[in-house]
Amino acid sequence: MARATRPTSRQPAARKSPARSNAPAAAAAAAAEPAIPNRERPAQPERYEASKEELLGFYQQMLLIRRFEERAGQLYGLGLIGGFCHLYIGQEAVAVGLQSALEAGKDSVITGYRDHGHMLAYGIDPKVIMAELTGRQAGISKGKGGSMHMFSVEHKFYGGHGIVGAQVSLGTGLAFKHKYEGDGGVCMAYFGDGAANQGQVYESLNMAELWKLPIIYVIENNQYAMGTSVARSSAEDQLYRRGESFRVPGIQVDGMDVLAVRGAAEEALAWVRAGKGPIVLELKTYRYRGHSMSDPAKYRTREEVQSVRDNSDPIEHAKKELEAMGVTEDALKEIEKEIRARVAEAADFAEQSPEPEGGELYTDVLVGQY
């Protein structure tokens, strides 16, 4: 049974990511028979039929992430952001497409260190995110977490984790909580193709299926674990199959198409909310920038990156569809202007906010007084 998502007829024919050309996923998947053929599996997701307003919303969110990340890159260059800073540019459709399907205040999200996009997609104020990147008191973690360690319990966004793969078992714990309390929530745990090789991912898949936990494991396959390509690191490079030995079904999705992503989210949520246990989504995507700001990305060619930008950019793709739906160029320009203003405001806020007081060093180590 083929699990790979093929571009639908609605997609422009020219869109072909090197992701797919590198790994002929659809053909490989078609050849593989499931281990237990009569086991129930999720249906092949349909591309989401978005209204103009919905698609405009997705476009705005993706553009916000893009412009925010570009600005963060600039601030990093100016020395206003320190340490590690991992940008989400190129992957915007994943967080936006998936999280738009979640119910705010009910479903939880957890991810690794490349976390700015997921926070923005969950509606968290760009100002407090940017102020965290600059290490200011007004930052979402009072400047004590930084780019990789941000949380918003209010939004049910549980981080922001710096250890590759840790969020997978932590997310399984969040799903455990949803089931334990019967609150109807689902956890969406994101991790990369690199983390997909960590042992605790499989420990988690096992427990999640054993206990039928409501969790969607999202593999953001951006092709490179830092500088190591999937082909060089993964014996099974079709990562959506990684749950098979635990009977966790997987779906491969075009992660550069926000509506394909949203469609897959609908299918995955239906599966999980029906009490059928966990599911794996592999989102084939691409990061335009290096692994972190300090990565010159010598492990791939300029042409490869440029080809994705030219042919598969999720924002350009959505823009074309919006135009086809009758959204005027002026309207799109207006959106662009608004977003640039929001990002500029966030950057100003982040630059002008004071650093934490010295006394903040000793707060929040422990909750209790002993």
Partner 1 sequence: MCWWGSIEMSIELKMPALSPTMEEGTLAKWLVKEGDTVKSGDILAEIETDKATMEFEAVDEGTITRILVAEGTDGVKVGTVIATIAGEGEDTATAPAEAAKAAESAPPAAAPAAEAAAPKKAESGTSKLASDKAAVTADPAIPAGTEMVKTTVREALRDAMAEEMRADGRVFVMGEEVAQYQGAYKVTQGLLDEFGDKRVIDTPITEYGFAGVGTGAAMGGLKPIVEFMTFNFAMQAIDHIINSAAKTNYMSGGQMRCPVVFRGPNGAASRVGAQHSQNYGPWYAAVPGLIVIAPYDAADAKGLLKAAIRTDDPVVFLENELLYGRSFEVPKIDDFVLPIGKARIVREGKDVTIVSYSIGVGLALEAAETLAGEGIEAEVIDLRTLRPLDRETVLRSLAKTNRMVVVEEGWPVCSISSEIMAIAMEEGFDDLDAPVLRVTNEDVPLPYAANLEKLALVDADRVVKAARQVCYK
Residue (38 or 369) nearer to partner 1, CB: 369
Task: Indicate which single residue of 44, 169, 292, 307 sits in contact with partner 1 (rule: CB under 8 A).
Answer: 169
Report how many residues bind partner 1 under the rule CB under 8 A: 48
Using CB under 8 A as the criterion, what x/- string covers residues 318-337 for binding partner 1? --------------------
Cβ at position 84, least distance to partner 1 in Å? 14
Question: Are 214 and 176 spatial neighbours (Cβ–Cβ below 8 Å)?
Answer: no
Cβ at position 106, least distance to partner 1 in Å? 12
| Beta-carbon-side half-sphere exposure of residue 95 (alpha carbons within 13 Å) | 32
Regarding 122 and contact with partner 1 (CB under 8 A), the answer is: no
Cβ at position 206, least distance to partner 1 in Å? 6
Task: Indicate which single residue of 95, 166, 283, 335 sits in contact with partner 1 (rule: CB under 8 A).
Answer: 166
- Give CA–CA dist 246/300, Å, rounded: 34
Task: Indicate which single residue of 62, 170, 280, 346 sits in contact with partner 1 (rule: CB under 8 A).
Answer: 170
Residues in 181-240 that interact with partner 1 by CB under 8 A: 181, 199-200, 203-204, 206-207, 210
CA distances from 170 to 112, 155, 310 (A): 11, 17, 37
Contact window for partner 1 (CB under 8 A) among 46-54, 157-165, 320-328, 342-350: 157-165
Task: Indicate which single residue of 2, 176, 297, 311 sits in contact with partner 1 (rule: CB under 8 A).
Answer: 176
CA distances from 40 to 36, 37, 271, 277 (A): 9, 8, 10, 12
- Give CA–CA dist 130/114, Å, rounded: 14
Point out which residues pair with 228 in neighbouring strands: 225
Handedness of CA 206, 208, 212, 215 (dihedral sign): negative
Task: Indicate which single residue of 27, 104, 163, 324 sits in contact with partner 1 (rule: CB under 8 A).
Answer: 163
**Helix (H), strand (E) at residue 338:** helix 329-352
Regarding 246 and contact with partner 1 (CB under 8 A), the answer is: no
Regarding 370 and contact with partner 1 (CB under 8 A), the answer is: yes
Q: Phi/psi at 286 (nearest 5 deg)? A: -160, 135
Neighbouring CB atoms inside 10 A of 1's CB total: 11
Question: Are 243 and 268 spatial neighbours (Cβ–Cβ below 8 Å)?
Answer: no
Handedness of CA 249, 171, 269, 273 (dihedral sign): positive
Task: Indicate which single residue of 67, 178, 291, 317 sits in contact with partner 1 (rule: CB under 8 A).
Answer: 178
Task: Indicate which single residue of 61, 91, 100, 141 sits in contact with partner 1 (rule: CB under 8 A).
Answer: 141
Residues in 271-310 that interact with partner 1 by CB under 8 A: none
- Give CA–CA dist 277/216, Å, rounded: 9
Task: Indicate which single residue of 91, 152, 285, 353 sits in contact with partner 1 (rule: CB under 8 A).
Answer: 152
| Beta-carbon-side half-sphere exposure of residue 20 (alpha carbons within 13 Å) | 21
- Give CA–CA dist 286/313, Å, rounded: 9
- Give CA–CA dist 104/23, Å, rounded: 35
Regarding 149 and contact with partner 1 (CB under 8 A), the answer is: yes
Does residue 192 sit in helix, strand or coil? strand
Using CB under 8 A as the criterion, what x/- string covers residues 95-114 for binding partner 1? -------------x-x----
As given in the structure block, the two tokens for residue 367 are 């909750």
Regarding 353 and contact with partner 1 (CB under 8 A), the answer is: no
Task: Indicate which single residue of 12, 34, 73, 173 sits in contact with partner 1 (rule: CB under 8 A).
Answer: 173
Residues engaged in binding partner 1 (CB under 8 A):
108, 110, 139-145, 149-154, 158-163, 166, 168-174, 176-178, 180-181, 199-200, 203-204, 206-207, 210, 363-368, 370
